[in-house]
Amino acid sequence: MRSVIKVSNPEGVKSVVDQQFEIGKRIIAAGLVPILEPEVDINSSTKGKADRCCLDLLMENIKGLDSSQKIMLKLSLPDQNNHYAPCIEHPNVIRVVALSGGYSREEANARLSRNQGMTASFSRALTEGLSAGQTDSEFNQKLDSTIDSIFQASIT
């Protein structure tokens, strides 16, 4: 479930994060693992502040989970390296994946490689440079090199 945070309004960010966890707990109760996705808009003039607010509220909610309640997080690439490390290291968090969020694949890979423990979830960046006009060979070569570059950025 994706919710987009456009500006760092503490009440608004809290509402988004709380809603993600509220619905996430229903998903857990059904025996599944929720993927919570409070996405901070990369074009926000207050992105860094929104990242910090989001982290604080994520950790507050994560710490309120029972030890058996596991979640995954799908987050925007932060401006500060390793910003989401507390989430990555928490035992209730199975995985933290990064959204390319509108960055070019090159920029998304560079940012991802500076965030240890985050894995790519780059659907848009994956298709960058692919087109129906390419030959099968060109398409496959481009896709292979794209997958390799995203993989390399993810293994930090």
Measured between alpha carbons, how far is 41 from 5 in angstroms, rounded to an integer?
6
Let me know: does 85 contact 117? Beta carbons within 8 Å. yes
Could you tell me how many residues make up the chain? 156
Nearest to 156 by CA among 100, 104, 70, 96: 96
Nearest to 54 by CA among 66, 65, 70, 41: 41
Task: Based on the residue annotation, tell me whether 89 is a catalytic residue of this protein.
Answer: no
Phi-psi region at 31: left, alpha or beta (left = phi > 0; alpha = psi -120 to 50): left
From the candidates 74, 107, 128, 142, give the one annotated as an active-site residue: 74
Task: Based on the residue annotation, tell me whether 60 is a catalytic residue of this protein.
Answer: no
Three-state SS at 122: coil
Active-site residues: which are they? 37, 74
